[in-house]
């Protein structure tokens, strides 16, 4: 299948496709059905250095940019996998890299690069505040050489398959700060030490079979040295990583979109009804073609967001628009694909229903489509704030 964007990363793609080919559709299907975690697949990605792509070479990583990282995530999904099992390390690591102390980087990054430690989890969202992050209620109170954490988080993914977690908590009460975005701080949580010692994890069963959890903190104590960056500046620190997160999610959606289009066009060419391939009918062909057009457009915005990020330029607008365009294009392709397959689209052996469920998530997470439109309206078009 041809793409309009020139590809200068064919070696990277070929290497990833060779690895992914070792894990056929039935492998990923098994974990989708059982809602379990593909340890062997994630270990293989780690062992070959793909999940350390954005860690600098001095810490044992590859020193690549967001462009290359996005291609890695795209290819995992394009080959039939689900990068949601492991994408957290890509963008969570950036918070540590940009705002951590030299001692913290030396302590964690080499072990993350080697696979000895996994940093797959970030705890921001809360059940009563959702995306109104500055109103979060989890507190971190300084007591000598430690912080005491109390509160609750929800939709916190991959905790059960991670060693470390980045936590955003309020260190200064909301009524004591001039701006509501102030007074929040970031911490590194050692999950093995925390769980059962003030931190409780409750899994949430969910539609895409994604490992995600509700988390409760009850006087959890963590060392003061686990504070990342400046106390009270955590909201601003974490914003840096959100542009990377949204761009990587866009890349995953693009990978899904290409997978759906490939699957649909192949089936439409092979399936014969009324003595002709169903793909010969415009009612079948055109929705697949339109999906492809929109995926290609989203792909261009994804690479523009990557280009700006890697050049050190502001990419908030591009990252948000890429995520919106890609998530909508992949969902459109998912619907075209399942419609093309008819009843067989609902049969697990075709994998369409699994990928369909996975693709739907990104209309909502990690930021909803409406909030992106609000961002564009206010911050790009200069319209009045809508909330």
Active-site residue set: 245
Element (H, E) at 147: strand 146-157
- Is the backbone peptide bond immediately before 366 cis, with ω within 30 degrees of 0? yes
- The token duo for 72 is 């890695």
Altogether, the residues listed in the chain come to a count of 387
For tokens 């070479």, the residue is: 57
Give 263-271's long-range contacts (Cβ < 8 A, gap of 24+): 263/337, 263/341, 263/350, 263/351, 263/352, 264/288, 264/291, 264/333, 264/336, 264/337, 264/340, 264/341, 265/1, 267/340, 267/341, 267/344, 268/340
Q: How many Å apart are CA 231 and CA 218, to the nearest integer?
A: 21
Within 13 A of 187's CA, how many CA atoms are on the CB side?
Answer: 27
Cα separation, 210 vs 304, in Å, equals: 29
Closest to 90 in 3D by CA, of 44, 118, 57, 51: 51
CA 39 – CA 3 distance, rounded (Å)? 32
Instruction: Assign 167 to helix, strand or coil.
Output: strand
CA dist., res. 91 & res. 242, Å (int): 8
Taking residue 211's Cβ as centre, other Cβ atoms within 10 Å add up to 22
């Amino acid at each position: 299948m041809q793409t309009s964007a020139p590809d200068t990363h064919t070696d990277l793609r070929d290497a990833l496709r060779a690895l992914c080919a070792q894990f056929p559709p039935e492998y990923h299907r098994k974990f989708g059905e059982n809602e379990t975690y593909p340890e062997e697949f994630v270990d293989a990605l780690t062992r070959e250095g793909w999940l350390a792509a954005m860690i600098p070479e001095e810490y044992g990583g590859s020193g690549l940019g967001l462009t290359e990282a996005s291609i890695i995530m795209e290819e995992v999904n394009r080959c039939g996998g689900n990068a949601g099992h492991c994408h957290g390390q890509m963008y969570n690591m950036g918070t540590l890299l940009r705002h951590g102390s030299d001692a913290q980087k030396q302590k964690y990054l080499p072990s993350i690069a080697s696979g000895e430690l996994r940093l797959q989890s970030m705890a921001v969202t809360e059940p009563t505040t959702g995306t109104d992050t500055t109103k979060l209620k989890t507190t971190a109170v300084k007591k000598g050489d430690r912080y005491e954490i109390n509160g609750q988080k929800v939709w916190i993914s991959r905790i059960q398959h991670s060693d470390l977690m980045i936590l955003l908590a309020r260190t200064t009460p909301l009524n004591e700060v001039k701006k509501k975005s102030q007074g929040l701080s970031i911490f590194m949580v050692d999950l093995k030490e925390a769980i059962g010692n003030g931190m409780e994890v409750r899994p949430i069963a969910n539609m895409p079979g994604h490992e995600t959890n509700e988390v409760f903190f009850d006087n959890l104590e963590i060392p003061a040295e686990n504070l990342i960056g400046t106390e009270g500046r955590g909201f601003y620190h974490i914003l840096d990583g959100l542009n990377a997160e949204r761009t990587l999610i866009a890349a995953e959606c693009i990978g899904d979109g290409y997978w759906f289009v490939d699957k649909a066009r192949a089936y439409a060419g092979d399936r014969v009804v009324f003595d002709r391939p169903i793909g010969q009918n415009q009612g079948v062909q055109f929705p697949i073609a339109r999906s492809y057009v929109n995926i290609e457009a989203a792909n261009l915005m994804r690479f523009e967001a990557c280009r700006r990020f890697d050049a050190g330029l502001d990419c908030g607008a591009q990252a948000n628009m890429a995520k919106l365009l890609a998530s909508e294009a992949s969902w459109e392709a998912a619907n075209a694909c399942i419609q093309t397959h008819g009843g067989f689209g609902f049969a697990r052996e075709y994998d369409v229903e699994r990928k369909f469920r996975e693709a739907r998530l990104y209309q909502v997470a990690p930021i909803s489509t409406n909030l992106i439109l609000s961002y564009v309206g206010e911050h790009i078009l200069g319209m009045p704030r809508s909330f």
